[in-house]
Structure 1
Amino acid sequence: MCTSFVSYGDSTLIGMNFDISERAIKLVYQKDSQFLVMQQEGATFFPALGINKSGTFMNLHMVEENAAGAYRRGKNCVHIMKLFDDVLSEKLALEDVPAFASDHAIVNVPGYSVHSLIANGERRACLVEPGRKPLQLDSEDVKFVVQTNFSLMDAKDSKGAADGSYGVERFHLANERLASVQGRVGVEDGFSVLQETAQLRGDFPTQLSLISVPEEGVVYFALQADFERIFSFSFHDQQIRTKQGFQTSRNSPVTRKGVLLSELSGW
């Protein structure tokens, strides 16, 4: 059910394990400079996370239902997918998100309950959960942030994550690993965190693991917890390339139509 983190050191690393049941998943590049991971529900593809050319990342993690964040319509209501679109298209700057989320009722889309980590390469980060106040995470004291599938706002209020909360074990694993390499986290360390928190069985196995390095304009990723084979995507030319662990080098452009993970698995 997903594990994400942002780590600040010599450079910023943003990582995520995308854990979901078997389905079609594709990588899309929109002409307004957004690299999106889309997952299929029925006949339609919906975004699960995205990164824009400026290095801003936003995800949509499943979280326990929160009645105050349930979908509804109203003059002051903004659903989380609208926020996702506005952040990645840069209609709303990341530094303005906490104030915007405090001034509006952020709500879920029908049938879902999610919370979102929003981060970039300029030490700005916040967590938005429909029905709760946003959590600003860009203090100089913050060295890294981990997100799984329980409410970080609730955990903050109660001085810690409750035992038995969904994703709490992955949360602690990622925190311990990031603390052990604090300030020295490179791409290899980032993948080590994702490997330790990957889900290899159950209803929601890890389908995609990625590390975004905003300063480089590059996203590195692995498929289905195969951390021996690493791909890369560059915002500079919108190409996916084989990076590590492949017998032959390949590359392919990413377009608005997208490329399925099942196609890449055959490289």
Structure 2
Amino acid sequence: MKRLFSPVLALAILLAAAHLTLACTSFAVYGVRGPIFGMNWDLPSSDEAEQSAYGFFDRRPNRVAIYSTNGIKVFQYDHNFFFTDRGVFGCIQAAYPPQRMESGTKRIVNWYDLFHWGVKLERAPEIAEFLADHRLRHSLDTDVHCLFADSQGGAVIVETGVDDNVLLPREGSYIVMANFFLHVLEGELAEEFAQKYPEWDLLEALDFDGRYRRAQAMIEAALDDFDHTRAFEVLEAVTQRITKFSVVIVPEERKLFFALLGDFSRIWEVDLEAETIATYKGFAEQRVERLDIQGITVSRLLGWR
């Protein structure tokens, strides 16, 4: 049986969420011009926050790299997201409001395990096969969700539910993930919330800073012309003061474009097939380097001119 927490507690959590130290946004869009994936990875540096449940940016490796596993090329930025030469993208984000997870019979796996299995996918929805016998857990509470998308049109959000994993496949031309559990917008919690707080809109309460709805609106308006440039416009519109890495992926070309530290005037390009990283926009000098398993750190990339 699901244990619903009080809407009063929910509101308290939501108000606390306004001070989150992790506020990522991601999406997969399947418009007229083909699939496009995007993500803002947000994390404070130690001088931007006194506390952070997920660590600090300046105390992490912050390294982009390309490696191979079982004949599959994988681009990875630390363990925050991946993209393979099969056209599969996977990322993880914090999610609220947390609830205590019920024990079950499935084997517990963390998101590192999920990513390890995810890079082998040929299509994103295949993640359901792995999760049929495994229970995703990061902590004792439900506090994370993942987005998996592929170049063939498959996209699904995996959320840590109270009793079991919750899988939310793409239903329209795009799918967006911010920092709240999408599955709570329907079902018992939504009904209880509506009964006790008829003057409140649950989506508005969960999406307290409007990133989810802003991204949705911009994507919806540009579906006929959505390319990597439009994707960067969305990411810039939902940038937070702690945004550190903004990536746009053109899966059919096996190319990635990214900006660092919320500065969209300079864009790097990664060619997964060629295994190279290059200057793309806003640099005084053209530069191309090989990208391998050793990788290149963000601090080194910031020195490119």
What's the TM-score bracket when you normalise by the shorter of the two chains?
Answer: 0.7 to 0.9
2:85 is aligned to 53
- 1:187 pairs with 2:228: yes
Distance 2:91 2:65 in 1: 15
Contact 1:50 1:59 in 2 (8 A): yes
Identity, in percent, stands at 25
* Alignment equivalent of 1:81, drawn from 89, 107, 112: 112
Distance 1:167 1:20 in 2: 18
Contact 1:102 1:134 in 2 (8 A): no
1:243 is aligned to 280
Please show how residues 108-123 of structure 1 align to structure 2 within 5 Å: 108=138, 113-123=143-153
Question: One-letter code of the match for 2:77?
Answer: V
* Alignment equivalent of 2:176, drawn from 130, 137, 146: 146
Runs of 4+ that moved beyond 4 A = 72-75, 109-112
- Flag the 1:227–1:248 CA change in 2: closer, same or farther, 3 A: same
Contact 1:101 1:128 in 2 (8 A): no
- 1:257 pairs with 2:294: yes
Distance 2:109 2:229 in 1: 38
DSSP 3-state at the match of 1:248? coil
Distance 2:155 2:299 in 1: 32
DSSP 3-state at the match of 1:149? coil
The alpha carbon displacement at 1:26 in A equals 1.1
- Flag the 1:263–1:130 CA change in 2: closer, same or farther, 3 A: same
2:55 is aligned to none
Distance 2:249 2:36 in 1: 6
Please show how residues 62-81 of structure 1 align to structure 2 within 5 Å: 62-64=94-96, 65-68=98-101, 76-81=107-112
1:42 is aligned to none
Contact 2:106 2:134 in 1 (8 A): no
* Alignment equivalent of 1:37, drawn from 77, 85, 95: 77
Distance 1:258 1:74 in 2: 39
Contact 1:60 1:114 in 2 (8 A): yes
2:13 is aligned to none
2:34 is aligned to 11
The alpha carbon displacement at 1:98 in A equals 2.6
TM-score by length of 2: 0.75
Question: One-letter code of the match for 2:233?
Answer: S
Deviations 1:127-167 (A, max 9, x none): 11123421111x4xx11111100001112443975333256
Distance 1:168 1:102 in 2: 34
Distance 1:83 1:6 in 2: 19
Unaligned runs of 5+ in 1: 39-46
Unaligned runs of 5+ in 2: 1-22, 46-57, 192-200
2:255 is aligned to 218
Higher helix share: 2
1:20 is aligned to 43
TM-score by length of 1: 0.85
* Alignment equivalent of 1:124, drawn from 154, 172, 175: 154
Distance 1:264 1:226 in 2: 13
Distance 2:139 2:65 in 1: 22
Instruction: State how many pairs are aligned.
Output: 249
